[in-house]
A and B are shown apart, each in its own frame.
Chain A
Amino acid sequence: MSQAQRGDEDSYARLLTELAEMIKAYLLNRFGRLEMLDDCVQESLIAIHQARHTYDPGRSIRPWLFAIVRHKMIDMLRRQRSEQLLAGYRQESPSEPDPLLESNIGVLLGALSSDHREAVLLTKYWGFSVRESADRLGVSEGVVKVRVHRGIRKIRTLLESESL
Chain B
Amino acid sequence: MNTRDLIDSLSSDLQPVPGFWPFWSVLALWLAASVFYVGGMILLFGPLRPGVEAQLVMPSRFSVEMLFGAAALVCWAIAGLADSIPGLYPRWPIRLAWMFLGIWLLHFIVGFVSPSLEPSMVGKRDHCSSEAYIYSLPPTLLMIWLQRRRFPLNPLRASIYAAIAAAIIPAVAMQVACMYEPTHILVNHVFPILVLATGVGIAAFLIIHLSRK
- A-to-B contact residues, CB < 8 Å: 4-10, 12-13, 16-17, 20, 38, 41-42, 45-47, 49-54, 56-57, 59, 62-68, 71, 160, 163-164
Q: Which stretch from B5-13, B35-43, B107-115, B136-144 is at the chain A interface? A: B5-13
B149 shortest CB reach to chain A, Å: 8
Contact of B7 with A45 in the complex, beta carbons under 8 Å = yes
Report the contact-size class of chain B (Cβ under 8 Å from the partner). Answer: 20 to 34
Is B88 at the interface (CB under 8 A from chain A)? Answer: yes
Contact of B14 with A4 in the complex, beta carbons under 8 Å = yes
Contact of B86 with A54 in the complex, beta carbons under 8 Å = yes
- What is the bound-complex CA distance between A20 and B4, given in angstroms? 9
Tell me if B's interface is mostly helix, strand, loop or mixed: loop
B35 shortest CB reach to chain A, Å: 25
14 more A-B residue pairs beyond the given contacts A5-B17, A46-B6, A56-B22, with a C-beta to C-beta distance below 8 A: A9-B13, A38-B3, A49-B10, A51-B86, A53-B151, A54-B85, A54-B86, A57-B20, A63-B88, A64-B88, A68-B153, A71-B153, A160-B90, A163-B87
Closest residue of B by beta carbon distance from A56: B20
A1 shortest CB reach to chain B, Å: 10
Tell me if A's interface is mostly helix, strand, loop or mixed: helix
- What is the bound-complex CA distance between A67 and B83, given in angstroms? 11
- B-to-A contact residues, CB < 8 Å: 1-3, 6-8, 10-18, 20, 22-23, 84-88, 90-91, 150-151, 153-154
- Taking CB atoms, residues of chain B closer than 8 Å to A41 are 3
Contact of A67 with B86 in the complex, beta carbons under 8 Å = yes
Closest residue of A by beta carbon distance from B23: A56
Partner of B12, one of A8, A9, A45, A63: A9
Closest residue of B by beta carbon distance from A8: B14
- Taking CB atoms, residues of chain A closer than 8 Å to B150 are 51, 53-54
